[in-house]
């Protein structure tokens, strides 16, 4: 910016005392969140490292229902947005936010500092944000074991390749109870860290992952153990574009250390791929989308074409694939009171969807070609 612009900016804000004594903490915190979003919008493909779509985060917080007096943790907390969303959810339901403990760890020091500032500006006093590598050196520990929490939300970095797989095979914290992930994909390392960080009775988590964790062959054995131990409660498939500067689709996995009796031995699959809206160049979950997903999650019942409750035995029979289309079948509905479509119409529908799939695959191959070319140049 020109010096004159910066001078005017400083002089303008100098007229106001922007402290918690003069500005409500919600307004100051929301202003800070807005600036973080603008930073994300301007920072290219690394934005998702520290900024997750807030409408999606709000949905995840509602699904976990954090309560006053509980502890909340994000092992890859970025700027603290998920912790703030849980705080807001407790406040929205009339809970005493002063009794909540917020905890997080962030790899990048400056981002961890931003998270601390974010929490302070939202009026939080009981928090602990540590810097460092969560997989290599978890900072939130109690003696010789990991500290555990009632609620865990996370958007771990996707499929990182540079991590210490060898050390994980004999992990000092016992986080390899499902198995050792492949070197090229550390997703299930973060997953197991989160599961180990939940309290034994009230622990629950919601984790944002790429769809690949649901069906990749090299992780099948770990999925098998996950299902056998009955930790997985819900698999939510999301639409594209809910990450800044990325068209990819993602999923949310919800787990509990102790499921309600009515949910024991079962997993709810929700196909919400089409429940997304694009406005002003950004994708988001409108309130009606969030409500629809939340109601399906709480009902934990079959809704044709949208949600299906599958027994663990059925999932094991499918080689522990958690791919949502295996369980939630697409509905070709009649419209305007007409009869269901005939075979020719149905086949046309399949051909159209097949074309869309291969167009998407072409787009993916082009992106991969660019990445490979860039890596070749760096090498």
Candidates 163, 269, 161; CA nearest to 211 is 269
Q: pLDDT tens digits for 206-250?
A: 999 988 899 999 999 999 999 999 999 999 999 887 765 567 788
Structure tokens at 116: 């601390």
Rg (CA), the chain: 22
Contact 59, 294 (CB under 8 A): yes
Q: pLDDT tens digits for 57-90?
A: 999 999 999 999 999 999 999 889 899 999 999 9
The full set of domain ranges for the chain reads 24-326, 345-379
Q: pLDDT tens digits for 140-186?
A: 999 999 999 999 999 998 888 889 999 999 999 999 999 999 998 99
Beta bridge partners of residue 267, listed in sequence order: 310
pLDDT at 242: 75
Burial of 313 (0-12, 13-18, 19+ CB in 10 A): exposed
Among the four given CATH numbers 3.40.50.150, 3.30.930.10, 3.10.20.340, 3.10.20.740, the one describing domain 24-326:
3.40.50.150
- In this structure, the strands spanning 151-154 and 141-142 are unpaired
Place of tokens 């051909």: 351
3-class DSSP assignment, residue 26: helix
pLDDT at 9: 85
Average pLDDT of the segment spanning 18-27: 63
Q: pLDDT tens digits for 272-282?
A: 998 888 877 67
Does residue 366 or residue 193 have the better pLDDT? 193
pLDDT surpasses 50 at 47:
no
């Amino acid at each position: 910016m020109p010096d004159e612009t910066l001078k005017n900016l400083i002089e303008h804000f100098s007229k106001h005392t922007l402290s918690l004594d003069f500005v409500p903490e919600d307004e100051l915190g929301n202003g800070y969140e807005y600036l973080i979003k603008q930073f994300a919008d301007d920072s290219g493909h690394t934005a998702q490292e520290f900024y997750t779509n807030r409408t999606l985060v709000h949905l995840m917080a509602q699904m976990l229902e954090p309560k006053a007096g509980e502890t909340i943790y994000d092992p890859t907390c970025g700027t603290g947005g998920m912790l703030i969303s849980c705080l807001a959810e407790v406040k929205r339901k009339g809970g005493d936010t002063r009794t909540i403990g917020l905890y997080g760890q962030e790899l990048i020091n400056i981002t961890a500092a931003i998270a601390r500032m974010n929490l302070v500006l939202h009026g939080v006093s009981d928090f602990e944000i540590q810097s460092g590598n969560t997989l290599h050196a978890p900072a939130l520990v109690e003696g010789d074991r990991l500290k555990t929490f009632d609620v865990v939300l996370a958007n771990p970095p996707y499929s990182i390749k540079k991590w210490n797989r060898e050390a994980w095979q004999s992990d000092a914290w016992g986080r390899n109870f499902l198995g050792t992930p492949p070197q090229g994909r550390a997703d299930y390392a973060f997953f197991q860290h989160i599961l180990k960080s939940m309290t034994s009775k009230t622990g629950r988590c919601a984790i944002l992952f790429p769809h690949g964790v649901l069906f990749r062959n090299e992780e099948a054995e770990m999925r098998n153990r996950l299902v056998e131990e009955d930790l997985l409660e819900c698999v939510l498939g999301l639409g594209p574009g809910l990450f800044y500067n990325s068209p990819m689709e993602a999923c949310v996995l919800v787990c509990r250390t102790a499921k309600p009796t009515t949910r024991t031995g079962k997993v709810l699959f929700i196909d919400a791929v089409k429940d997304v809206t694009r406005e002003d160049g950004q994708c988001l979950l409108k309130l009606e989308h969030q409500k629809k997903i939340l109601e399906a999650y709480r009902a934990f019942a079959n809704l044709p074409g949208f949600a299906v409750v599958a027994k663990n035995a059925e999932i094991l029979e499918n080689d522990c694939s958690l791919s949502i289309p295996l369980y939630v079948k697409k509905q070709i509905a009649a419209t305007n009171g007409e009869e269901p479509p005939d075979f020719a119409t149905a086949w046309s529908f399949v051909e159209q969807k097949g074309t869309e799939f291969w167009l998407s695959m072409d787009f993916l191959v082009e992106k991969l070609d660019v990445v490979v070319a860039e890596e070749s140049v760096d090498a």
